[in-house]
Amino acid sequence: MTGFVDLHVIPRVDDKQSCQRMAELLHLAGYSAVALALPTGLLRDRVTSLGRLFEDVGIGTVSRVDLTANSRSDLLKLLRRFRTLYDVVAVKCANQVVASVACRDRRVDLIYFDPANPKVRFGHQLASMLRGAVEFNVISTFLGETRKEIFSRVAKEAAVAREHGSKIVLSSGCWSPVAVRSPLQISAIGASIGLSREQCAQGVREVPLSIIQRNQERRSRLFVEEGVKIVTLKQR
């Protein structure tokens, strides 16, 4: 897998036409892979057929789950249940406690924040604990009527991430064909909120790719544990 990756695409599972159009536009925009955030209860057949829609136009897909919890124990329970089932695990931080657990837990690939939620924000303390990456969903956050408070908040979070050299993923969070944007645009919006050019370029390519590759390796049957894998299989 190479090229640009959008780690947060939310297709409308009940609208096949919309999914088809999204897939075509994502391909036109230059993406080579996307992470599909699908409802956790969706039947496996539906997931496969949705994935095939994207793969038919030349886009690789991986599965993603967005976890939301209100307490530490809820989050740990959800991680135990879903970590092995999905390629990418993201946590939407609803409060400071959940955010600090998500930052420290190595099973979490991405954390992201709701810019409209004043209870929690990505500050220096979280940035210093972060083991995964912080995600900015630039399209779903800024599209439409946005207030200056949201811009200012996201810019502050970007400044913290820049200062600590945190891993950053720039995603669209697109939910319909009209919200699809090219990696150039996503990267440009990242630069306009104050991220460095290097972080923006890595946020749409290297960082998401490394997350996908690491997790695919972890989920392969040759993987034993961190740093240990089966190199050759004995023929029986």
Interface residues with other proteins (CB under 8 A)?
Answer: 25, 28-30, 138-139, 142-144, 177-186, 188-189, 191-192
To other proteins, the closest distance from the beta carbon of 107 in angstroms equals 32
Which is nearer to other proteins, 82 or 142 (by Cβ)? 142
To other proteins, the closest distance from the beta carbon of 163 in angstroms equals 22
Which is nearer to other proteins, 182 or 215 (by Cβ)? 182
To other proteins, the closest distance from the beta carbon of 179 in angstroms equals 6
Which is nearer to other proteins, 72 or 194 (by Cβ)? 194
Which is nearer to other proteins, 63 or 192 (by Cβ)? 192
To other proteins, the closest distance from the beta carbon of 115 in angstroms equals 14
To other proteins, the closest distance from the beta carbon of 185 in angstroms equals 3
How is the chain classified by DSSP, letter by letter?
Answer: --SEEEEEE---TT-HHHHHHHHHHHHHHTEEEEEEE--TT--HHHHHHHHHHHHHTT-EEEEEEEEEESSHHHHHHHHHHHGGG-SEEEEEE-SHHHHHHHHH-TT--EEEE-TT-TT----HHHHHH-SSEEEEEHHHHHSSS--HHHHHHHHHHHHHHHHHT--EEEE--B-SGGG---HHHHHHHHHHTT--HHHHHHHTTHHHHHHHHHHHHHHSTTEEETTEE---PPP-
Which is nearer to other proteins, 59 or 139 (by Cβ)? 139
